[in-house]
Amino acid sequence: MLVATTSTMLIVSGIAGKKLVENVVSDLYNLARKEAGFQLKKWKAANHTDTISKRIGQLRLVKTILQSEKEIDLTSFYYPSRIRMGDKRSIVHQLSDLNVDCSVVIEGTVGQGKSIFLRYLASVEFCTTRRIPVFVELRRYRAGQLLVDMALHELKSLGFEMTQDVFRFFAEQGRILLLLDAFDEVKEELRQDLIAEIEGLIRQHEALRVVITSRPQSGITNSPFLRGFQLCPLEDREYEQVIRRMAHSGETAETIISGIRKEAAQVAPLLTTPLMVALLVVRYKIDQSLPQNSAAFYESLFSLLLQRHDKTKGGYIRPRKSGVSDTILEEFFNALCFVTRKANETSFTRAKLNGFSREALRIVGQKGGMDKILSDIIEITCMLITDGDECRFIHKSVQEYHAALFIQEQPDEMAIAFYGAMESKWINWQQELSFLALIDSYRYLKHFQIRALQNVLDVGSGVLRDSITPDLISRVCGKDLLRFLDGSSTVQSLTIVLDRCFWPTSQRRNVTEYINEIFKVARVSLIGASFEKTTDGESITVDQLLKTDAHKEVVEAACSKYCQLLQKELREGEDYVAHVESTKTVFQF
């Protein structure tokens, strides 16, 4: 299947690609001739067809951790994404494989390849359905912008210049595929306006298809106009196939795989996303090391990338413009990551980057040399990449790890202030907190997690302070939709609800197994004769679920099991802190 799919994508280049573009342009022109034909005549020019063909192909060109110095075609490393569909993990080669006739949200956690998957869809859908793929990076969305204007800009860059009226005509005809990448990177205060505009477009143009990617808990899945799906983690030994795709050398790939097999218990369970595999491949190529926990995949990556050219060129040392040490460069980069995360910015103009950089220089106590330090980071490490006037991190998780590293390096007073602020701001710093649980365990537990767990639990009685009620769910989750496709996503949906209500447990074990046990104990099926489905036959709101008497036993059992899990985490956290503090006497002289 992979070979066939790759061949499908590659037809957008060369002679086949040009012929395809000619056919699509001719088809669109004939479709819109009466309404807007005069505006589209220039599309049919031979040189313009070449331009469109080339730019459609460029949708597949990306910079990645694997190759950050220049763009590469994603077909050279792409491993087909698996999507959760009911109780199955299904490979999705094109949009129709989702078996739904509506717009969708594809959710995935850090590093699952959401953007790569969306670009993959853009290429395939143009070939197979002849829809015009409009790929919009939502990290660029700013206050006062209209999504339609961003779409028109992207269409113009592809060679399909059109007005709003022409755009809406093609949307109504089902010839536009709107691909919106990284909704979670939209600033929180702008999300509701953007959701309203997306919903407005879907309502107005029934045949328009919108595909949105996002990390979980961004709020976009609350929309009743979108069907939600989840990207699946890599399972079993699928990581081996990903390594073979990414290594670009059979010998290197087999060496890495052999090393993992020797340390399978420590390393293999961590290789659940393409990003983790990519980080491992990069590290192994530089220093032949295998990371032992999720934070270790990022640990020393900055310094390794600073030196990778030197290590591969027989004693050659690349000259640095800044003249500062590796330590100062990394301290500056850590501070830069923190100040940009605090500003909730993942991409910015060069002018804004300069402003963030001046703040980072002040924090680390470095005077002058900002432009040269930035040049070293951009040109040598490639952790920051530039595209015209836009600057961004090579991957959001790199920014998040180094922001966490900055916090970990701070003295107690400053770190405690950060952890205190997380009581109300944790939802925007979840990934940093996950890293800090590994690299700053003592302070993370003492000043954040233990307190958060105590706030959730009534420690004396051993129960949750709040019951899971429709009011609580609405307050925490909004009108989030639970999806019941084939009756099998119930476990996952209930897990998500519980997690959102009673988070503070970034390091808690997966509760899915507990929820599965709950269904066995309660012996109540959430999809059964006693359950009255909504008019669409597939989904209900959270509060509808929890108001249904037939499911009271399940909800109560879920609360009980989840409470036991939180209590266990609280005890483990308190024991660890007590152990660390008991060793303080060692340092008394």
Q: What is the pLDDT of residues 315-351, one digit of tens each?
A: 445 567 888 888 999 999 999 999 999 999 988 999 9
**177 located within any domain:** yes
Give the residue, 368 or 233, on which the prediction is more confident: 233
- Secondary-structure breakdown of the chain: helix, strand, coil percentages, each rounded to the nearest 5: 60, 10, 30
Whole-angstrom Cα distance, residue 321 to residue 91? Answer: 47
> For residues 347 and 390, is the Cβ–Cβ distance under 8 A?
yes
**pLDDT at residue 568 above 70?**
yes
Q: Are residues 287 and 384 in the same domain?
A: no
**589 located within any domain:** no
Top mean-pLDDT range of 66-70, 253-257, 379-383, 566-570: 253-257
Q: Which residues pair with 230 in a beta bridge?
A: 84, 107
Q: Kindly state the percentage of the chain with pLDDT values over 70.
A: 75
Q: Which residues pair with 384 in a beta bridge?
A: 393
**304 located within any domain:** no
Whole-angstrom Cα distance, residue 433 to residue 435? Answer: 5
How many domains are there within the chain?
A: 4
Question: For the segment 371-416, what is each residue's pLDDT rounded down to a tens digit?
Answer: 999 998 988 888 898 888 889 998 999 999 999 999 999 999 999 9
Give the residue, 202 or 499, on which the prediction is more confident: 202
pLDDT at 467: 56
Whole-angstrom Cα distance, residue 504 to residue 381? Answer: 34
Q: Are residues 116 and 220 in the same domain?
A: yes
Q: What SS3 class is residue 113?
A: coil
**321 located within any domain:** no
Top mean-pLDDT range of 200-214, 269-283, 372-386: 200-214
Mean pLDDT of 499-504: 47
Task: Return the CATH number at 172.
Answer: 3.40.50.300
Mean pLDDT of 278-282: 90
Q: Which of 204, 231, 258 is the last residue of a domain?
A: 231
Mean pLDDT of 525-537: 39
Q: Are residues 161 and 109 in the same domain?
A: yes
**257 located within any domain:** yes
pLDDT at 372: 92
Q: Are residues 51 and 187 in the same domain?
A: yes
Run of H or E including 135: strand 132-137
> For residues 508 and 569, is the Cβ–Cβ distance under 8 A?
yes
Mean pLDDT of 358-371: 91
**pLDDT at residue 65 above 60?**
yes
pLDDT at 469: 52
**539 located within any domain:** yes
Q: Are residues 226 and 257 in the same domain?
A: no
**449 located within any domain:** no
**pLDDT at residue 475 above 70?**
no
pLDDT at 569: 81
At 7, the pLDDT band (50, 70, 90 cuts) reads: very low
Mean pLDDT of 563-586: 86
Whole-angstrom Cα distance, residue 557 to residue 336? Answer: 46
Q: Are residues 492 and 508 in the same domain?
A: yes
At 484, the pLDDT band (50, 70, 90 cuts) reads: very low
Q: ∠487-491-493 over CA atoms, to 5°?
A: 90
Q: Are residues 104 and 175 in the same domain?
A: yes
pLDDT at 238: 94
Mean pLDDT of 570-575: 90
Q: Which amino acid type is present at position 171?
A: A
Q: Are residues 32 and 160 in the same domain?
A: yes
At 217, the pLDDT band (50, 70, 90 cuts) reads: confident
pLDDT at 316: 47
Which of 510, 506, 504, 497 has the alpha carbon at shortest distance from 467?
497
Q: Are residues 15 and 70 in the same domain?
A: yes
Mean pLDDT of 147-152: 96
Query: Using H for helix, E for strand and C for coil, what is the string for 239-305?
Result: HHHHHHHHHCCHHHHHHHHHHHHHCHHHHHHHCCCHHHHHHHHHHHHHHCCCCCCCHHHCCCHHHHH
Top mean-pLDDT range of 49-53, 129-133, 145-149, 506-510: 145-149
Least confident span in 125-139, 146-160, 328-342, 377-391: 377-391
pLDDT at 204: 95
pLDDT at 6: 46
> Residue 382, by phi and psi: left (phi above 0), alpha (psi -120 to 50) or beta?
left
Whole-angstrom Cα distance, residue 275 to residue 284? Answer: 14
Q: Are residues 112 and 185 in the same domain?
A: yes
> For residues 502 and 566, is the Cβ–Cβ distance under 8 A?
yes
> For residues 3 and 81, is the Cβ–Cβ distance under 8 A?
no
**pLDDT at residue 198 above 90?**
yes
pLDDT at 488: 34
Least confident span in 217-221, 253-257, 509-513: 509-513
Q: Are residues 246 and 128 in the same domain?
A: no
Task: Return the CATH number at 362.
Answer: 1.10.10
**454 located within any domain:** no
pLDDT at 270: 85
**Domain that includes residue 482, residue range:** 463-575
Structure letter (DSSP) for residue 530: T
> Residue 86, by phi and psi: left (phi above 0), alpha (psi -120 to 50) or beta?
left
Least confident span in 304-313, 322-331, 575-584: 304-313
Q: Are residues 206 and 253 in the same domain?
A: no
